[in-house]
């Protein structure tokens, strides 16, 4: 028995080392830097520097104002798509290819594409002007709208994949049983599918929110990094890489992490209130 446990531990050892080197150590080191000064003395000055500056504190609300709508829209768009595709549809592979394509491109290429397509002189504005819908170009880049759209385009595929994988695991016999008992489609969705889907939706929301809240390339390329769309990650970069003050930069990063953790705990608490029990009941 002890030998079996030893072998199992050896199987997990590479993963443990990977997590320790790439996640645990950087987090602990950043946590240490956030509470020390350049001389290595313990202090709260790094956090006070951030919270005493109204311009820096404003980035918390700015980041929330960008991340929350982008996450909600991504999830709300992914729910009907994944629900419709849960049992497979004609041309699913081709549809899935185009839906997932933004993931393979990355945030920078997505942003560059948006600048070319949705910019003031982009194809979209030229087309709308040509058919007489608009007279002046729509401002869809280098502002709040551009950042939110960029996040939705990039994060939507992640939400779709997670929700599709989760809803596909719900036993279709439950729907058939509800239909036999006389329930219509809307009732089945509300009373059968959605309650079982809640854990997956909560997980997809949490992961998408973390990605959106830590936005950096999209905010720089499609927003105004020194103005209305200055998010917390830009503030971290400013302190760490421009002012070379890694202590204050680490403190802001810790605040970001704490906010993300609070949001995840709130979402998981709501999930617990809405649903209790097993959800992945398997297929027939």
CA gap 254, 234 in Å, rounded:
14
pLDDT band for 282, please (50, 70, 90 cuts): very low
pLDDT band for 2, please (50, 70, 90 cuts): low
CA gap 253, 264 in Å, rounded:
17
Instruction: Give the residue, 157 or 2, on which the prediction is more confident.
Output: 157
Ranges of each domain in the chain? 53-274
- List of E strands, the chain: none
Cα distance between the two ends of the chain? 36
Statement: residue 283 has pLDDT above 50: no
Q: How far is CA 70 from CA 139, 223, 242, 263, in A?
A: 18, 14, 29, 15
List 42's β-bridge partners, or say none.
36
* SS3 (DSSP) at 137: coil
What is the share, in percent, of the chain residues with pLDDT greater than 90?
A: 51
Closest by Cα among 204, 200, 167 to 71: 204
pLDDT tens per residue across span 214-265: 999 999 999 998 888 999 999 999 999 999 999 999 999 999 999 999 999 9
Provide, for the chain, the percentages of residues in helix, strand and coil under a 3-state DSSP scheme, each rounded to the nearest 5.
75, 0, 25
Q: Is 229 exposed, middle or buried (0-12, 13-18, 19+ CB in 10 A)?
A: buried
How does DSSP classify residue 158? H
Q: Is 153 exposed, middle or buried (0-12, 13-18, 19+ CB in 10 A)?
A: buried
| Rg, C-alpha atoms of the chain | 23
List 36's β-bridge partners, or say none.
42
pLDDT tens per residue across span 6-18: 777 777 888 888 8
The DSSP code sequence of 17-53 is: HHHIIIIIHHHHHHHHHHTB-TTS-B-SHHHHHHHT-
In CATH terms, the fold of domain 53-274 is MetI-like fold (1.10.3720)
**Residue 90 has what pLDDT?**
79
Is pTM beyond 0.85 here?
yes
Long-range pairs of 144-147 with CB within 8 A, sequence gap ≥ 24: 144/65, 144/66, 144/223, 144/228, 144/229, 146/114, 146/118, 146/222, 146/223, 147/66, 147/215, 147/218, 147/219, 147/222, 147/223, 147/229
pLDDT tens per residue across span 63-110: 999 999 999 999 999 999 998 888 777 777 887 788 778 888 888 888
């Amino acid at each position: 028995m002890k030998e079996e446990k030893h072998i199992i531990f050896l199987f997990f050892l590479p993963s443990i080392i990977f997590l320790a080197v790439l996640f645990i150590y950087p987090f602990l080191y950043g946590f240490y830097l956030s509470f020390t000064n350049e001389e290595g003395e313990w202090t709260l000055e790094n956090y006070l520097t951030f919270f005493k500056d109204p311009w820096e504190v404003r980035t918390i609300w700015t980041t929330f104002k960008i991340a929350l709508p982008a996450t909600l829209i991504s999830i709300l768009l992914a729910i009907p798509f994944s629900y419709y595709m849960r049992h497979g549809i004609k041309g699913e592979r081709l549809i899935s290819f185009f839906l997932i394509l933004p993931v393979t491109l990355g945030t920078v290429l997505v942003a560059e594409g948006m600048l070319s397509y949705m910019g003031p002189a982009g194809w979209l504005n030229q087309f709308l002007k040509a058919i007489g819908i608009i007279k002046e170009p729509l401002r869809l880049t280098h502002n709040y709208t551009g950042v939110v759209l960029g996040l939705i385009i990039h994060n939507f595929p992640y939400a779709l994949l997670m929700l599709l994988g989760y809803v596909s695991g719900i036993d279709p016999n439950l729907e058939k049983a509800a239909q036999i008992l006389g329930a219509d489609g809307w009732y089945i969705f509300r009373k059968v599918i959605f309650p079982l889907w809640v854990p997956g939706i909560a997980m997809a929301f949490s992961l998408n929110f973390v990605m959106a809240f830590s936005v950096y390339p999209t905010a720089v390329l499609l927003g105004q990094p020194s103005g209305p769309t200055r998010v917390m990650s830009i503030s971290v970069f400013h302190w760490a890489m421009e002012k070379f003050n890694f202590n204050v930069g680490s403190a802001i990063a810790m605040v970001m992490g704490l906010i993300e953790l609070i949001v995840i705990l709130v979402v998981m608490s709501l999930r617990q209130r809405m649903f209790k029990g097993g959800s992945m009941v398997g297929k027939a």
